[in-house]
């Protein structure tokens, strides 16, 4: 239990750090500095996040609508060569240009063919390139550097996209403030030459009182981002199901509140790798989301599902009458997942599921013991042909129709 407590504390610390960084980004927006200085401060905050696997350098581009390209506006620790080569980046060029053109996050684990801007002495590295979007329109791009060979991490991307949401707010706010200041300057110049009537001055004074309202909106957005950060710490970013840590917390609460018996189903998807390899990661991600939806529809209101990562899922069955009931639910899930899935781009695929079933307290007095028993039963299904159900301690039951 000490290891579980340690892991729980680490996740809580991570969620609190995420919320703190997002709050700091929003507070930066109300400082009386120019946009470049504020964006450099935002980069410093982002690069200080302890759990992100980032190299200590990055940049923020803003869109130049007149030339339809990106202008490097703020940076940290970029080489002089990059400052020259990347001062202006056309849409569609290199990873930053692709992020702006497609309005989608780009990931590269190394300097691949998409990294069209290269120079002598450039060290191996990877990238996340994330579009900064406001009101459905790309207004900039955030680029951060990764160690060479660093794989795509959904939790990192989810947090960085939240950072981009905060950046979009502060960029639009500062642009509005700049526009307001330009209006004030123009008004002052006009007043120096013409004696305006009092009513005209009052009208324009009301138009200029905008930033206080936008600061209130920023505070509301900060509270929403804090809630989002707490949700992200407890849920799988792809399917929005509880993650393993939250699943464990919910199970333990049910163990403590109700003497049971309860059941845990450990589910491994059969055939998922083939779909991923044949149709790509986007199709694989869509399939995982569809699997999560079917799992949830197969359960009663007191039961719940979770995604542990990859193609592994789990289900908690509350206060089941018998082991046979748990096996029937598991078999129903196998049958539901065997039905073909229709994905985007007219992709149709068929998978299966190997499910191990364990009961609390019959197969263990704590969460770890029960989940291990269910995991072991699932592997027996795998060894005997996959696509079936097995209760811990008894022979495997083949899925209906096999």
Which is more confidently placed, 194 or 253? 253
Residue 394: what pLDDT?
A: 74
Mean predicted confidence (pLDDT) in 306-323: 95
| Gap between the Cα atoms of 158 and 397, Å rounded | 39
Whether the per-residue pLDDT at 225 is higher than 90: the answer is: no
Q: Using an 8 Å Cβ cutoff, are 64 and 71 in contact? A: yes
The tokens of 298 are what?
A: 């197969």
> Would you say domain 2-234 falls under CATH 3.30.450.40?
yes
Residue with tokens 């509270």: 223
Give the integer Cα–Cα distance in Å for 74 and 169.
16
CB atoms within 10 A of CB 274: 13
Determine how many CB atoms are found less than 10 A away from the CB of residue 134: 16
Assess contact for 51 and 158: CB atoms under 8 A: no
User: Could you tell me the pTM of the whole model?
Assistant: 0.48
At 19 the pLDDT is: 84
The answer on pLDDT for 239 being more than 90 is: yes
Which CATH number describes the domain made up of 244-398? 3.30.70.270
SS3 per residue for 244-272? HHHHHHHHHHHHHHCCCCEEEEEEEEECH
The answer on pLDDT for 5 being more than 70 is no
Tell how strand 352-360 and strand 388-391 pair up: parallel
pLDDT tens by residue, 376-393: 999 999 999 899 999 998
Q: Which two tokens stand for residue 365?
A: 């007095």
Render pLDDT for 138-191 as a digit per residue (tens, 0 to 9): 999 999 999 999 999 999 999 999 999 999 988 988 888 878 788 788 777 776
Burial readout 195-225 (b: 16 or more C-beta within 10 A, e: otherwise): eeeeeeeeeeeeeeeeeeeeeeebeebbeeb
Tens digit of each residue's pLDDT (9 = 90 or more) over 176-216 = 887 878 878 877 777 677 665 666 656 665 555 556 677 78
Q: Domain locations in the chain? A: 2-234, 244-398
The pLDDT value given to residue 189: 77
Residue 338: both structure tokens together: 């065997």
**Mean pLDDT score of the chain:** 88
Instruction: Select the highest-mean-pLDDT range: 50-54, 130-134, 257-261.
Output: 130-134
| 401: DSSP letter | T
At residue 397, the pLDDT reads 44
Q: Cβ–Cβ contacts within 10 Å for residue 122, how many?
A: 13
Least confident of 11-15, 38-42, 195-199: 195-199
What's residue 64's pLDDT? 93
Per-residue confidence band for 399, with pLDDT thresholds at 50, 70 and 90: very low
Please state whether beta strands 352-360 and 262-270 pair in parallel, antiparallel, or not at all (unpaired): antiparallel
pLDDT of residue 63: 95
Residue 120 φ/ψ, nearest 5 degrees:
-65, 135
Q: Measured between alpha carbons, how far is 230 from 308 in angstroms, rounded to an integer?
A: 18
pLDDT at 244 over 70: yes
CA neighbor of 360 nearest in space, from 259, 250, 266, 267: 259
- pLDDT: is 128 or 34 the higher one? 128
396 confidence band (pLDDT: 50, 70, 90)? very low
Whether 32 has a pLDDT exceeding 80, the answer reads no
In the chain, what percentage of residues exceed pLDDT 90? 68
Condensed to tens digits (0 to 9), the pLDDT of residues 73-125 reads 999 999 999 999 999 999 999 999 999 999 999 999 999 999 999 998 899 99
Look at 38 and 10; give whichever has higher pLDDT: 38
Torsion of CA 79, 82, 84, 89, to 10 degrees: -150
- Asked if 59 contacts 41 with a C-beta cutoff of 8 angstroms, the reply is no
Q: Identify which of 325, 337, 375 has the alpha carbon closest to the alpha carbon of residue 355.
A: 375
Predicted confidence (pLDDT) at residue 134 exceeds the cutoff of 70? yes
Let me know if the fold of 2-234 is the same as that of 244-398.
no
Range scoring the smallest mean pLDDT among 200-209, 216-225, 285-294, 332-341: 200-209
pLDDT computed for residue 198 by the predictor? 64
- Is the separation of the CB atoms in 350 and 340 below 8 Å? yes
């Amino acid at each position: 239990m000490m290891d579980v407590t340690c892991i729980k504390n680490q996740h809580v610390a991570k969620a609190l750090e995420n919320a703190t960084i997002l709050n700091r980004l929003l507070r930066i927006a109300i400082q009386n500095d120019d946009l470049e200085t504020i964006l450099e401060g935002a980069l410093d905050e982002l690069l200080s996040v302890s759990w992100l696997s980032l190299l200590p350098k990055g940049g923020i581009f803003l869109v130049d609508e007149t030339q339809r390209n990106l202008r490097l506006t703020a940076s940290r620790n970029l080489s002089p060569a990059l400052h020259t080569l990347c001062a202006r980046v056309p849409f569609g060029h290199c990873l930053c240009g692709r992020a702006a053109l497609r309005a989608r996050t780009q990931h590269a684990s190394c300097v691949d063919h998409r990294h069209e801007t290269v120079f002598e002495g450039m060290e191996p590295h990877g990238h996340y390139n994330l579009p900064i979007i406001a009101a459905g329109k790309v207004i900039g791009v955030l680029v951060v550097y990764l160690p060479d060979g660093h794989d795509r991490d959904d939790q990192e991307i989810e947090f960085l996209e939240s950072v981009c949401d905060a950046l979009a707010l502060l960029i639009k706010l500062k642009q509005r403030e700049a526009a307001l200041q330009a209006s004030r300057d123009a008004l002052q110049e006009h007043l120096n030459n013409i004696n305006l009537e009092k009513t005209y001055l009052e009208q324009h004074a009301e138009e200029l009182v905008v930033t206080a309202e936008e600061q209130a909106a920023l505070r509301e957005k900060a509270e929403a981002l804090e809630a989002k950060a707490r949700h992200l710490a407890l849920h799988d970013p792809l399917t929005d199901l509880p993650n393993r840590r939250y699943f464990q917390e919910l199970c333990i609460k049910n163990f403590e509140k109700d003497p049971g018996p309860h059941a845990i189903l450990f589910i491994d998807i059969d055939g998922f790798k083939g779909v991923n390899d044949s149709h790509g990661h986007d199709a694989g991600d869509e399939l995982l989301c569809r699997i999560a939806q079917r799992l949830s529809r197969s359960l009663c209101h007191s039961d719940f599902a979770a995604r542990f990562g990859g193609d592994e899922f789990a289900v908690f069955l509350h206060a089941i009458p018998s082991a046979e009931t748990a096996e029937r639910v598991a078999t129903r899930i196998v049958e539901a997942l065997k039905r073909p899935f229709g994905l985007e781009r007219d992709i149709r695929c068929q998978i299966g599921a190997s499910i191990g079933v364990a009961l609390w307290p019959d197969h263990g007095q704590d969460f770890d013991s029960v989940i291990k028993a269910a995991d072991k039963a699932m592997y027996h299904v795998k060894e005997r042909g996959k696509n079936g159900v097995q209760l811990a301690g008894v022979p495997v039951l083949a899925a209906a129709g096999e």
